[in-house]
Structures are given as structure tokens and as C-alpha cells.
Amino acid sequence: MGSSCCFFRWLLCSFISLLCFIEYPILVDSTNKNGLSGPVINVTKYISFPDFSSSTNPRIHHHVTLLGSAKFSNEMGTIQIPDASQTVDLRHQAGRAIYSSPIRLLDPLTQSPASFQTTFAFQFSNSTTSPSPSGPTRNNIYGGSGLTFIIVPDEFTVGRPGPWLGMLNDACDDLYKAVAIEFDTRHNPEFGDPNDNHVGINLGSIISTTTINASDVGVSLNDGSVHRAWIQYDGQRRFMDIHLGSDGGKYPSQAIFSGPLDLSPFLKEYMFVGFSASTGNMTQIHNVLSWNFTSTSQAFLRVPSTETCENKIIFGINGETTKTSRRTEPTSSSFMIFVAVVVLCVVILVNLYYNGKRSRVDQSNVVVLPVKKQRPRPPNKPRRFTISEISSATRCFSELKVVGSDSRGVSYRGTLLNGCHVNVKRFSSQFLNSRGLDRRRLVKEIGTISRVRHPNLVPIRGWCYDNREVMVVYDYLPNGSLNEWLFGVGVLPWTRRFKVVQDVAEALSFLHSKQLAHKNVKTSSVFLDVSFRAVLGDFGFVLSGSESRRFESEVSQKADVFGFGIFAMEVVAGRRRIEYSEVGEQEEMDLLEFGWRMHEREEKVKVVDRKMGAVVSWEQAVRVLEIGLLCTLNETKGRPSMDEVVGFLTMERPIPKLPPTRPVALFPYNSATDLCNGYSCPPFK
Ligand SMILES: *[C@@H]1O[C@H](CO)[C@@H](O)[C@H](O)[C@H]1NC(C)=O
Ligand SMILES: *[C@@H]1O[C@H](CO)[C@@H](O)[C@H](O)[C@H]1NC(C)=O
């Protein structure tokens, strides 16, 4: 009886979802021509730094991220690039100062860029402390490369020094979208520079699409005086204005650049803004004295909320029409709504009937984790969600909300009614129907895992379960999953990678100490929180694969260790375990095999990601690699426990010697089964 009740619940939820689906195209058709609907909201972001001194703004380090050679000068209250206290030789330095939070600069659906205005005062000098000389003279001409106002996709990449102005580096390929307005004081003809005193607009390339001779407006960028730039961008008209003048002087009536400019191909939805600068053979200190930035992007409410959904149902029943439906023709869609409403009423009645009956039926078959009604619930206690709650949170599982997918299902980003952002994993029916998978056990595991808390585990807010669907609701982490950072366009520095490996080891060691296991360890299960701490989420809960169940309790922790080994190697190498070689051959290059081969030849450094450049602790990287290889050993041949791995990483425990050659017949290599978390793994013995 309980299950048929659940079935009707499900039916009810499905109809609500169906209604949402039906409404969506109507709204799209019936409102404005851009294919958008609902009220348009202007979302404004305002940043203001009257100066950059930590005495007036103690939290300056939280607001502005410094990268490379850059510092805050307390004496002058400025950002200084390069940082003269860090190094004696100021030649060939590059640095960035980036506002720490991303800013929405593009609507991905309409591809319309946001509008923004920014103004900043800057000065180039040859010493770190002396204020500007009493007046610009031809004598103090310095020779650094220049400064840019920059819009970049991440806040950890630094570009090359010299003529690259810290804008791009060798690892930035065509996918690294960056926009810069350069104030260039070196003449590099090979980069298309007209002279050593120009402003340029750089779209995804260090070669400017437009250059302006600053001398034409009487400005000499490196004369030691304080200049001010105003940059205005109108996203709707795709039009840019740049003004350049002296700080404290009048706003120049004449723009140095004013013209159409489409930034949208060079923007992602969220970007970081700030400054970059560099020196080459000649040096100067680039100071930014003050900065204001305002952006306005437009948000559309595209799909009605549940309240709207429900209101419409009530309106429909009362025979009234709503604003939006009034605008539509009486089409087949309206008819479908009518049919849906009638069926919905029947479903509600039947559901009520069975609910009445259910209260008399015992609770034992209301499968797992019964909801206790009396006790008030602490706000963050994991709970059961209804399908309609999740459906409205994810806008009826809209494709726009998809953040990832794997063999187990699809992850959606969603917003609960209370405004909390969540990540919903919806297990695929293929996974749920796979042989040997017991849904009740899956839900029970979700309940068990949701009760443990650790700083390196993504908190579970709840789950949703009925006869058809199993979903898990996690906290949403704004920085996304590690694989995007690791295999994306930026370069994750080694110190951060090492921290990530440690965090994940801690999380697994904690889980194992509670006799639990993650069962889905891989880079896409690791997320980065706002402070870039790694948190492990996207639990597997059960091992997939039919035979595995019998052995599951024994093997799952060992499989976690194996998964961690591959994970650690991927982090060190900056590539996925299986990658197709670039030459177009469809030949797989197995990272695990490669790692062992390099170990046999004593050339493990060759596995370390070269994109990280020289700023790597090679010794540490090789140690992590060795730990990774150890974790892939057969269980009887020395695979460590996660507790031991934590000890290896903190150097509290010596790392056992790896066998000199790879133990033979270890693993099936190209097995596509995800018996071990998507990685192929040794057969269970
Ligand atoms: C949003 O901004 C645009 C362009 O700046 C303006 O035309 C429009 O009136 C604003 N809308 C609202 C609701 O403030
Ligand atoms: C830049 O402008 C100055 C002054 O107007 C002029 O002397 C110089 O030749 C110009 N340079 C170029 C490359 O156009």
C-alpha cells in the first residue's frame, strides 16, 4: 500500500513537472523577441578602492589577490608591480592584482556582454617609495613594459613578463579568454606597437587590435606623473569609450578611443578583473593608486517558480486566465494544460484517498529513513526532498542547470526555495536498473553518509527517493570541480595541487575511520570551496557492477585507495589517466603505465606536469607520485591504508620502497567498467 502511495506521489510530482515543461515554451514564445521572458533585473556590482593601503583597508588582502611579483605598498597606498622587496633584480618580472571575486560579465544564453565602467589612477616610477616628482620632466623616463587593465577567466594565472605584460603565458591557448587595455611604454614592433607610448586594446591576444598614440593627447605615460584612465563599455550597444587624462585634472572631453567593440567572444559568464604589469630588460614600478569599477549585467527570470506554477494551477481550476496565458493563442498547449489539470485533480483525489488509508498502515514498508514528524528539525539536518521541490530548484531539470555527468547520472545546479544553492545528483535509470543494484541499500547508504561531517567532505543536505528516482542534494560549491581547474586552460600551481592531495587524503582517511568508503574517488568528485580548500563530494554510495556487491564491504575502502592513487597521479601530471594522443592516433596513453615505466627508468620527474614551469617542488611532486604508485599496488603487495597515506604526505611516516619494476599482470588496462570508480582496477581477490 505504501508503495502505491509513493507511486501516486510520483505521478503528482511528474504532473507538476509536466506543467512546468508545458509552460516554458509558451512563455518563451509569447514574450519578447529575444526569446526571454519575465522581468529583467539589472544586477550591479560596485568595487571601490580609494587607495590600497592596509591601514585604511585591513582586509585588502581578501579583496585583491596578488599574483607573481606584486605587492601593496603601505607607504604609497598603491599596488606595485613588480614587488621590489621580493627581489633585487626587477628585470623580467610579471605580476597581477585581481579582484578576488568573479564578476558576471556575459549572459551565456543571449551572449550579451555586461556593461561596465572603470576608472583608475596609475603612475610609473623608478623607485618604490618616492612620490611623483614635482613635475614631469624629460629626465625621468623609465623603461618597464607597461600596465594593463585586464579581464581574465581565473585568478591564479600570471602571464609572461616583458612584452607580454603579464597578460598571457605559454600555457594560455586559444581557449584562455582574456581582454586587456594596455598602457604600454615599450616599443615592440614585432607585437605591432606603434611607439613606446601607446594605449592598446587586446582581445585574447597580446597583439593589439587597436592602438592609440598617447602622445597625440599630450600624455607621456612614463613621465612620472599620475595619470587617470576611464574605460566605459556599453554591453547592449557593444561600444567602448576610453579616456586618458591626468589624475585630479578635468575629465577629458575627447575620448582617445570610441567605437564599436564586441567583447562577447572573449568573455565567459564569470570573469575576474584587475591589473597586470611586467618589466623586461628595463624596469619601472607600475603603481595603481585608486580604482573604481561598476558592472551591470541583466538577469532574466526565465522559468516560473513553483509558486507561479501552483498559482497557475489554481487559476486554471477557477477558470481564470493569467497574464501570460492571456497573451497566448488558445493552442494545443493550453489544451494540454487543461487536460493536465483535470488529470492532476484526479491524482490529488486518489492520493488523498490512499494517504488516508496509509495512516492506518504500518510504517515499516515506507522504506528506509522514515520522516519523523513531531520533532522540530535543525535547519541543516539532512532531510528527504520531494521530486517537485527538486524539480523547481533545478528549473525542471533544465539543461542550463547541468554541471556534469558520468556513468552514474547527471549533476544539476539548483536553488532551493530558501535561496540555498545546491548541487543535485540525479542517478540515471540505467545505473539504478543495473544488475545487482539494490535501491533501498543505495538510499540507506546516502542516509548513513549524510550523517558524517568533515571539513573536507561536501555536506549532504538530503535526498529524494521514490519508486523511479534516487537523487542526492549536496551543498553547492562555487569554484566547481577540480577537473575543470586541472585540465582546463589555467595552470593550477603546485602548492595548491599538493594541498588538494592532502585534503582529499584527510577526507578519505576520516571516512575509512568511520568504516565508510567514498566509492567514487576521481578528480570530478573533488570540489574547491571559496578558499580553494578541496572537498570530496559526489559519493558513489555503492560500487556499480554486478559482482561487486558480495565483496563490497571488503573491497570498497581498498578501491578508494586505488582511486586515490590514480587521482594523485593525475594531479601531479596534470592530465587524465586515459588520454588520446594528439597525433590523431586513437592509441591510449595510460598514465598508470607511464608512471610505472618512468619509475623503472628512474625518470619520474618526466611525469610531473610541465605547465607548472619551474615553480614546483620537484622533490615533493615525485613523492606524491610515488605515493600514487604505491596506492595502485595489489592489496597483498603493499597497498597502504589511507591513514598511512596521510602520514606519508605529512612526512611523519617514511614512504616504503616501491618495487623496482611494475608487478606483472597487475591490472586490466583498458577496461571500461567502472568497477572501481570509473578507473579500471585489479580484480577482487
Ligand atoms: C537596466 O539597465 C538598462 C541599461 O542600462 C536600462 O535601460 C534599464 O532601464 C534598466 N532597467 C531597470 C529595471 O533598471
Ligand atoms: C605619436 O604622436 C606624436 C605627437 O603627436 C608624433 O610626434 C609621433 O610621430 C606619433 N607616433 C606615431 C608612431 O604615430
Same domain assignment for residues 16 and 54: no
Tell me the average pLDDT across 139-150. Answer: 76
Distance, CA of 423 to CA of 393 (rounded, Å): 10
- Residue 367, in any domain of the structure: no
- Residue 354, in any domain of the structure: no
Give yes or no for a contact between 660 and 600, defined as CB atoms under 8 angstroms apart: yes
pLDDT exceeds 80 at position 171:
no
Give yes or no for a contact between 393 and 407, defined as CB atoms under 8 angstroms apart: no
Tell me the average pLDDT across 57-81. Answer: 90
Cα(195) to centroid(ligand 2), Å: 8
Same domain assignment for residues 207 and 311: no
Average pLDDT, rounded, for the chain? 79
Same domain assignment for residues 343 and 211: no
Distance, CA of 262 to CA of 203 (rounded, Å): 10
- Residue 371, in any domain of the structure: no
In angstroms, the Cα distances linking 389 to 337, 426, 638 are 20, 13, 47
Give the pLDDT band (50/70/90) at residue 311.
low
Same domain assignment for residues 199 and 258: yes
pLDDT exceeds 90 at position 406:
no
Same domain assignment for residues 334 and 414: no
Same domain assignment for residues 155 and 59: yes
Cα(298) to centroid(ligand 2), Å: 41
- Residue 551, in any domain of the structure: yes
Ligand 2 atom at shortest distance from the alpha carbon of 195: 13
Tell me the average pLDDT across 359-383. Answer: 53
Q: Determine which of 116-125, 146-155, 265-274, 542-551 has the lowest per-residue pLDDT on average.
A: 542-551
Q: Which of 191, 195, 211, 220 to mutate to test the pocket of ligand 2 (most atoms within 8 A of CB)?
A: 195
pLDDT exceeds 70 at position 368:
no
* Cα four-point dihedral sign 432, 436, 440, 446: negative
Tell me the average pLDDT across 3-11. Answer: 52
CB-based burial of residue 318 (10 Å sphere; 0-12 exposed, 13-18 middle, 19+ buried)?
Answer: exposed
Question: Which residue CA neighbors atom 13 of ligand 2 most closely?
Answer: 194
Task: Using the 3D structure, point to which of 476, 508, 524 is the last residue of a domain.
Answer: 476
Same domain assignment for residues 566 and 441: no
Cα(21) to centroid(ligand 1), Å: 29
Question: Which residue CA neighbors atom 3 of ligand 1 most closely?
Answer: 42
Helix (H) or strand (E) holding 312: helix 306-317
| CB hemisphere CA count around 286 (13 angstroms) | 33
Same domain assignment for residues 412 and 542: no
Ligand closest in space to the Cα of 300: 1
Summarised one tens digit per residue, pLDDT across range 579-604 is: 755 554 444 578 998 999 999 999 99
Distance, CA of 363 to CA of 373 (rounded, Å): 13
- Residue 212, in any domain of the structure: yes
pLDDT exceeds 90 at position 527:
yes
pLDDT exceeds 60 at position 312:
no
Ligand 1 atom at shortest distance from the alpha carbon of 298: 1
Higher local confidence (pLDDT), 367 or 86: 86
Give the pLDDT band (50/70/90) at residue 12.
low
pLDDT exceeds 60 at position 22:
no
* Pairs from 189-194 (Cβ < 8 Å, separation ≥ 24): 190/163, 191/163, 193/163
Ligand closest in space to the Cα of 295: 1
Same domain assignment for residues 330 and 291: no
| Domain count along the chain | 4
Q: Determine which of 184-198, 360-374, 623-637 has the lowest per-residue pLDDT on average.
A: 360-374
Higher local confidence (pLDDT), 628 or 496: 628
At 343, list the grid cell: 488529470
Ligand closest in space to the Cα of 235: 1
Q: Which of 215, 221, 256 to mutate to test the pocket of ligand 2 (most atoms within 8 A of CB)?
A: 215
Higher local confidence (pLDDT), 63 or 281: 63
Distance, CA of 449 to CA of 452 (rounded, Å): 6
Tell me the average pLDDT across 331-341. Answer: 63
Cβ of 495 closer than 6 Å to ligand 1, yes or no, is no
Cα(267) to centroid(ligand 1), Å: 21
Give yes or no for a contact between 127 and 285, defined as CB atoms under 8 angstroms apart: yes
* Cα four-point dihedral sign 442, 448, 454, 459: positive
Ligand 1 atom at shortest distance from the alpha carbon of 42: 1
Give the pLDDT band (50/70/90) at residue 372.
very low
pLDDT exceeds 80 at position 131:
no
Task: Using the 3D structure, point to which of 300, 326, 341 is the last residue of a domain.
Answer: 300
Tell me the average pLDDT across 332-356. Answer: 65
* Pairs from 240-249 (Cβ < 8 Å, separation ≥ 24): 240/201, 242/181, 242/199, 242/201, 242/212, 244/199, 244/214, 244/217, 244/219, 245/217, 245/219, 246/219, 247/121, 247/289
Q: What is the reported pLDDT for 102?
A: 92
Question: Which residue CA neighbors atom 11 of ligand 1 most closely?
Answer: 42
Q: What is the reported pLDDT for 347?
A: 65
Cα(297) to centroid(ligand 1), Å: 10
Ligand 1 atom at shortest distance from the alpha carbon of 236: 4
Question: Which residue CA neighbors atom 12 of ligand 1 most closely?
Answer: 42
Give the pLDDT band (50/70/90) at residue 612.
confident
Domain that holds residue 75: 43-300
CB proximity list for 106: less than 8 A, separation 6 or greater: 112, 113, 114, 264, 267, 268, 269, 271, 297
Distance, CA of 578 to CA of 595 (rounded, Å): 12
CATH of the domain at 516: 1.10.510.10
CB proximity list for 656: less than 8 A, separation 6 or greater: 630, 638, 640
pTM: 0.48
Cβ of 661 closer than 6 Å to ligand 1, yes or no, is no
Summarised one tens digit per residue, pLDDT across range 654-680 is: 999 999 888 764 554 333 333 343 343
Q: What is the reported pLDDT for 400?
A: 80
Same domain assignment for residues 402 and 500: no
Higher local confidence (pLDDT), 59 or 327: 59
Cα(215) to centroid(ligand 2), Å: 6
Cα(298) to centroid(ligand 1), Å: 8
Residue with cell 614635482: 134
CATH of the domain at 142: 2.60.120.200
Cα(299) to centroid(ligand 1), Å: 11
Q: What is the reported pLDDT for 129?
A: 59
Ligand 2 atom at shortest distance from the alpha carbon of 198: 1
- Residue 37, in any domain of the structure: no
Cα(101) to centroid(ligand 1), Å: 24
Q: Which of 42, 112, 296, 297 to mutate to test the pocket of ligand 1 (most atoms within 8 A of CB)?
A: 42
CB proximity list for 573: less than 8 A, separation 6 or greater: 591, 595, 607, 608, 609, 625
Cα(42) to centroid(ligand 1), Å: 6
Cβ of 42 closer than 6 Å to ligand 1, yes or no, is yes
Residues whose beta carbon lies within 6 Å of some atom of ligand 2: 194-195, 213, 215-216
Question: Which residue CA neighbors atom 6 of ligand 1 most closely?
Answer: 42
Cα–Cα nearest to 333, from 35, 32, 20: 20
Summarised one tens digit per residue, pLDDT across range 446-463 is: 999 999 999 999 999 999
Ligand 2 atom at shortest distance from the alpha carbon of 216: 5
Cα(115) to centroid(ligand 1), Å: 11
- Residue 167, in any domain of the structure: yes
Distance, CA of 235 to CA of 293 (rounded, Å): 15
Question: Which residue CA neighbors atom 5 of ligand 2 most closely?
Answer: 216
Q: Determine which of 174-178, 224-228, 370-374 has the lowest per-residue pLDDT on average.
A: 370-374
Tell me the average pLDDT across 323-349. Answer: 58
| DSSP sequence for 168-186 | --TT--TT---EEEEEE-S
Ligand closest in space to the Cα of 217: 2
Tell me the average pLDDT across 533-560. Answer: 78
Same domain assignment for residues 69 and 192: yes
User: In this structure, how many other beta carbons lie within 10 angstroms of the beta carbon of residue 33?
Assistant: 5
pLDDT exceeds 70 at position 558:
yes
- Residue 373, in any domain of the structure: no
Tell me the average pLDDT across 412-424. Answer: 88
pLDDT exceeds 70 at position 288:
yes
Ligand 2 atom at shortest distance from the alpha carbon of 194: 13
Name the E strands within 444-510: 460-465, 470-475
Q: Which of 184, 216, 220 to mutate to test the pocket of ligand 2 (most atoms within 8 A of CB)?
A: 216
Residue with cell 547541468: 402
Task: Using the 3D structure, point to which of 300, 323, 358 is the last residue of a domain.
Answer: 300
CATH of the domain at 430: 3.30.200.20
Cα(198) to centroid(ligand 2), Å: 10
CB proximity list for 528: less than 8 A, separation 6 or greater: 477, 479, 480, 481, 482, 485, 500, 534, 535
Question: Which residue CA neighbors atom 9 of ligand 1 most closely?
Answer: 42
Same domain assignment for residues 1 and 49: no
